[in-house]
């Protein structure tokens, strides 16, 4: 059996993703927490959960900071030590890693990790501005470079160096919408065509509307415990067997390569080594497709294909459900939605469903090992986790 | 430590306002910090001297922003890119005085300086941009 369990996931919750009118972020998080409580009746949340780590990117959306304490209270966990982790769109990937560390340290036997963002009540221009705060202020934001703009800079160079095409990128959008059409919690549960994607409105050339993830309200959470305690709570746990995290320069312009993210390569190497597995061992992966080019580069950084061959892998269909390594069966950030602070643990939620056989119409057959790849900003943060099915 | 102006981003911008592109060269290891930093990211020294940066380079990558943040909406669509200066350092910025269809990777661009336009939200430091030679 591969990979010694570091910690075990015994339950998970996810709110509906989309435009959740009339709900504050804290209320959306409470709904995700409630699902996790109901999924695991053996847990007494008030008694058992000893700490909360939550990812939340921005105060700007709801004029609300200090999210750790707020969410602990709204999740019915008043007085637990509660800490917000912020690493832009990797905020809850970082929360998950903080939870892993807390359990491994012995300070807490059972912890909740999660994340939330409430975004859809803001205009596109405001969201564009708030998201750009995760990039370098004095040189990137100040020159009018947006988030789609940063990934467009990567795409332009990738196309130049490797012959990657706009169609390769659109293929990823079509795939993720197909997967999302089977996810009842996804924001956009509809399939799109290559033509839809290629003719959609320009956002930052060569990236068009359908190359971009969505503006979403949503929350996600997991309950973690020590592997030796897992069976007390469930007979169907998922073990985390590898954890990696790395940083890079805040400015894209300072990096040696614009076609690969060093942080993702380092974090994934750490996680693979810790888990004792190889990229070819993965049965599925949830990768950070904030833009289609990000998923394409993730294929290469994670070792699913060689550098420069991401476009070819996308075209091959191997990353589609039924292929060699299905990627983003949830629909990804592209179709499921991207409430930034919630995304890292929402990716883990999908892997949890897949490895416990609860993914319904989008179930990957006999899935045993999965991976999540969560990026912050243009890759100044990357968090990678590897998971193994607990049941034989 | 020296009596020179502080090796800060603010000072970089003040210099740019006078049409000068300056970086902080580490006196210990020789690495040029551009933009300047208070400690060398290579050898952690604080011993710097100002050094002139060549104000031209070649375009490494670019995009045209159509959906812009609030502050830039009136300018959209506009081109931005990352250039590699003649000494190997890199800098991002807007590309002006050229239509997007004439922009291409490896084209030579030079750096021009201009005053910051009036806005309440951004610092009132002078700016720079790129244009074809």
Is residue B85 one of the residues assigned to a domain? yes
Tally the domains of chain B.
2
Question: Which residues in B lie closer than 8 A to residue A143 (C-beta atoms)?
Answer: 80, 92-94, 127, 129
- CB under 8 A, 24+ apart: contacts of B49-52: B49/B2, B49/B4, B49/B24, B49/B25, B50/B4, B50/B5, B50/B22, B50/B23, B50/B24, B50/B25, B51/B22, B51/B23, B51/B24, B51/B25, B52/B20, B52/B21, B52/B22
User: Quick check: B118 and B125 in contact, CB under 8 A?
Assistant: no
Q: Same domain, yes or no, for B75 and B95?
A: yes
- On chain A, the residues whose CB falls within 8 A of the CB of B90 are 253-254
The percentage of residues in chain A with a pLDDT greater than 70, rounded to a whole number, is: 99
Q: Could you tell me the residue range of the domain that residue A91 belongs to?
A: 7-122+214-389
Q: How close A144 comes to chain B (CA, Å)?
A: 6
Whether A175 is in a domain gets the answer no
CB contact under 8 A, B70 and A149: no
ipTM above 0.90, yes or no: yes
Would you write out chain B's pLDDT as a tens digit for each of its 133 residues? Answer: 457 899 999 899 889 888 999 999 999 999 999 999 999 999 999 999 999 999 999 999 999 999 998 888 889 999 999 999 988 999 999 999 999 999 999 999 999 998 766 554 566 667 899 999 9
Residue A130 within a domain: no
Same domain, B90 and B43: no
Residues B39 and B89 occupy one common structural domain: no
Within-domain flag for B30: yes
Residue A140 is assigned to a structural domain of this protein: no
Measure CB to CB from residue B70 to each of A125, A204, A206 and give the nearest one. A125
- B118 plus B63 within the same structural domain: yes
Chain B closest-CA separation from residue A187 CA (Å): 21
Q: Is the pTM of this model over 0.90?
A: yes
Q: Is residue B1 part of a domain?
A: no
Which residues of A are less than 8 Å from B72 in CB distance? Answer: 144
CATH number assigned to the domain comprising residue A91: 3.40.47.10
In this structure, the answer to whether residues B118 and B77 fall within a common structural domain is yes
Cα–Cα dist A1/B38, whole Å: 50
Asked whether residue B76 falls in the same domain as residue B114, the answer is: yes
Same domain as B45, residue B83: no
Instruction: Please check whether residues B60 and B48 belong to one and the same domain.
Output: no
Residue A125 and residue B64: Cβ atoms within 8 Å?
no
**Domain contains A307:** yes
Q: Is position B4 within any domain? A: no
Q: Do B80 and A149 touch (CB under 8 A)?
A: yes
| Residue where the block lists tokens 């197909």 | A178
Residues B29 and B82 occupy one common structural domain: no
User: What is the per-residue pLDDT across A138-169, written as a single tens digit (0 to 9) for each?
Assistant: 899 989 999 999 999 999 999 999 999 999 99
Whether B3 is covered by a domain: the verdict is no
Mutation site, B63, B104, B124, interface A, largest A CB count within 10 A: B63
| Residue A24 domain-assigned (yes or no) | yes
Which of A56, A239, A338, A373 is labelled catalytic?
A338
Q: Are B21 and B67 found together in one domain?
A: no
Rounded to whole angstroms, the Cα distance separating A103 from B99 reads 56
Does B127 map to a domain? Answer: yes
Is A133 a domain residue? Answer: no
Domains in chain A, number:
1
B23's tokens: 């970086």
3-state helix, strand, coil in chain A (%, to 5): 40, 20, 40
We report the CATH number of the domain holding residue B99 as 2.40.50
Q: Do B76 and B36 share a domain, yes or no? A: no
Q: Which residues of chain A have pLDDT under 50?
A: none
Q: Kindly state whether residues B71 and B120 are assigned to the same domain.
A: yes
Residue A179: inside a domain: no
Q: Which range of residues forms the domain containing residue B105?
A: 56-132
3-state secondary structure A341-354: HHHHHHHHHHHHHH
Contact: B67, A160; criterion CB under 8 Å: no
């Amino acid at each position: 059996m591969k990979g010694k369990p570091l910690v075990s996931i015994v339950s998970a919750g996810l709110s509906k993703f989309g435009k959740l009118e009339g709900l504050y972020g804290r209320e959306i998080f409470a709904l995700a927490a409630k699902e996790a409580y109901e999924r695991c009746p053996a847990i007494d949340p008030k008694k058992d959960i000893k700490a909360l780590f939550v990812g939340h990117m921005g105060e700007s959306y709801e004029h609300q900071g200090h999210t750790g304490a707020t969410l602990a209270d709204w999740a019915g966990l008043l007085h637990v030590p509660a800490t917000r982790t912020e690493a832009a769109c990797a905020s809850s990937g970082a929360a998950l890693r903080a939870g892993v560390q807390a359990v491994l340290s012995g300070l807490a036997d059972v912890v909740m990790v999660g994340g939330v963002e409430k975004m859809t009540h803001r205009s596109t221009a405001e969201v564009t501005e708030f998201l750009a705060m995760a990039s370098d202020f004095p040189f990137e934001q100040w020159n009018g470079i947006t988030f789609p703009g940063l990934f467009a800079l990567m795409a332009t160079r990738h196309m130049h160096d490797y012959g990657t095409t706009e169609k390769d990128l659109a293929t990823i959008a079509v795939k993720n919408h197909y997967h999302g059409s089977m996810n009842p919690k996804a924001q956009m549960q509809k399939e799109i065509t290559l033509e839809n994607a290629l003719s959609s409105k320009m956002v930052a050339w060569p990236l068009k509307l359908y190359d971009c993830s969505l503006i979403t309200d949503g929350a996600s959470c997991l309950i973690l415990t020590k592997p030796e305690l897992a069976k007390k709570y469930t007979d169907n746990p998922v073990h985390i067997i590898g954890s990696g995290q790395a940083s890079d320069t805040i400015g894209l312009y300072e990096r040696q390569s614009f076609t690969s993210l060093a942080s993702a390569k380092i974090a994934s190497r750490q996680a693979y080594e810790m888990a004792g597995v190889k990229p070819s061992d993965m049965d599925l992966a949830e990768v950070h497709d904030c833009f289609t080019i990000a998923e394409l580069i993730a294929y290469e950084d994670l070792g699913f294909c060689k550098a420069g061959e991401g476009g070819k892998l996308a075209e091959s269909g191997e990353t589609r459900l039924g292929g060699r390594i299905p990627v983003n069966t949830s629909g990804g950030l592209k179709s499921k939605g991207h409430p930034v602070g919630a995304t890292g643990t929402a990716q883990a939620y999908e892997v949890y469903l897949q490895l416990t056989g609860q993914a319904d119409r989008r179930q990957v057959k006999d899935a045993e090992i999965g991976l999540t790849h969560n990026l912050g900003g243009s890759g100044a943060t990357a968090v990678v986790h590897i998971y193994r099915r607990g049941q034989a | 430590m020296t009596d020179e102006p502080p090796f800060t981003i603010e000072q970089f911008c003040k210099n740019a306002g006078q049409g000068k592109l300056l970086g902080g060269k580490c006196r210990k290891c020789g690495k040029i910090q551009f933009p300047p930093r208070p400690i060398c990211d290579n050898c952690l020294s604080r011993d710097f001297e100002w050094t002139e940066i060549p104000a031209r380079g070649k375009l490494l990558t670019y995009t045209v922003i159509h959906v812009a943040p609030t502050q830039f909406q009136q300018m959209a669509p506009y081109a931005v890119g990352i250039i590699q200066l003649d000494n190997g350092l890199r800098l991002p910025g807007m590309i002006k005085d050229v239509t997007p269809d004439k922009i291409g990777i490896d084209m030579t661009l030079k750096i021009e300086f201009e005053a910051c336009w009036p806005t309440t939200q951004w610092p009132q430091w002078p700016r720079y941009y790129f244009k074809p030679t």
